[in-house]
Amino acid sequence: MYTEKVMDHFTNPRNVGEIENPDGVGEVGNAKCGDIMRIYLDIEGDIIKDVKFKTFGCGAAVATSSMVTEMVKGKTIDEAMVISNAAVAEALGGLPETKMHCSNLAADALHKAIENYKDNQLKKE
């Protein structure tokens, strides 16, 4: 059902946890399946220096959260904003159709964290 890469990111998730005093936080959930994801960003001069996540959900939800954090570390916020749901699933070698909504949550949480960062920057001006 799951690819080897999905299973690896589920059993050995990368970047789990919280960032103290994050520059941006994004949280999304899916009431239908019960998955909830929160992504924390540490950004220095437009570069994502660190990213962490906390996810409550199925194996695919954990794997997509882990993968999206790996995909964005070291990228600019503009590069991170174009990471799509399909790109997350593709990076994992695909997901079963019934689990594609999980990749949507991961990218959505990332985008919300970036939007939160941008909002925070405007408040500082």
What are the catalytic residues? 33, 102
Taking a C-beta distance cutoff of 8 angstroms, is the pair 99, 58 a contact?
A: yes
For residue 41, list its beta bridge partners: 24, 51
Q: Residue 24 in contact with residue 95, Cβ under 8 Å?
A: no
**CA dihedral for 42, 81, 67, 27, sign (positive or negative):** positive
